[in-house]
């Protein structure tokens, strides 16, 4: 009697099922072996920008509302998302401004904010290159 538990796995998995490791590997390469930069970038940037389902303006409006309500955790998360969108847009001023706000709410619990603030120019350069490559890989001839 066969229950299907020993079902053979496909020999050639689809390319989309392994897309995350490829994306993470490319990000690591773009960071030039800088493990600290890679760790911060992999936590803070959107590896798949197609999944950004809101506008920066909406996120900032929410962040300010949470801040005025005293909801520090939600404000931090919203400013973190705003910083991630700014990385996607290669907006150095936005990266500095929004991750600084997130850091002010997080304290020492998220050292990646402080790291990104210290290396924001490098982070924006890596993000720009990553997203340029990501966008060009989506265009099919």
Per-residue three-class SS string for 37-62:
HHHHHHHHCCCCHHHCCCCHHHHHHH
Is residue 9 a part of any domain in this protein?
Answer: no
When computed from its CA atoms, the radius of gyration of the chain, rounded to whole angstroms, is 18
Residue 101 and residue 63 in contact, taking contact as beta carbons nearer than 8 Å: yes
Helix 111-118 vs helix 92-106: crossing angle, to nearest 10: 150
CA distances 1 to 4, 7, 114, Å, are 9, 13, 59
What pTM was estimated for this model as a whole?
A: 0.80
pLDDT, tens only, 60-97: 999 999 999 999 999 999 999 999 999 999 999 999 99
Domain total of the chain: 1
pLDDT, tens only, 21-35: 677 788 999 999 899
Full domain range(s) for residue 127: 31-43+55-138
State yes or no: pLDDT of 15 exceeds 80.
Answer: no
Is residue 109 a part of any domain in this protein?
Answer: yes
Is residue 6 a part of any domain in this protein?
Answer: no
Measured distance CA(100)–CA(103) in Å, rounded: 5
Is residue 102 a part of any domain in this protein?
Answer: yes
| Spatial CA neighbour of 77 closest among 105, 54, 53, 37 | 105
Is residue 36 a part of any domain in this protein?
Answer: yes
Is residue 12 a part of any domain in this protein?
Answer: no
């Amino acid at each position: 009697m066969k229950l299907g538990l020993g079902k053979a796995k496909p020999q050639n998995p689809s390319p989309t099922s392994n897309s995350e490791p490829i994306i993470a590997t490319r990000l690591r390469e773009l960071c030039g072996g800088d493990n600290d930069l890679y760790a911060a970038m992999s936590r803070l940037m959107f590896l798949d920008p197609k999944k950004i389902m809101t506008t920066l303006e909406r996120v900032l409006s929410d962040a300010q509302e949470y801040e005025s309500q005293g909801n520090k955790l939600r404000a931090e998360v919203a400013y973190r998302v705003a910083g991630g969108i700014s990385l996607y847009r290669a907006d150095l001023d936005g990266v500095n401004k929004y991750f600084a706000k997130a850091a002010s709410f997080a304290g020492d619990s998220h050292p990646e904010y402080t790291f990104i603030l210290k290396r924001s120019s490098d982070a924006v350069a890596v993000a720009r290159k990553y997203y340029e490559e990501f966008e060009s890989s989506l265009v099919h001839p």
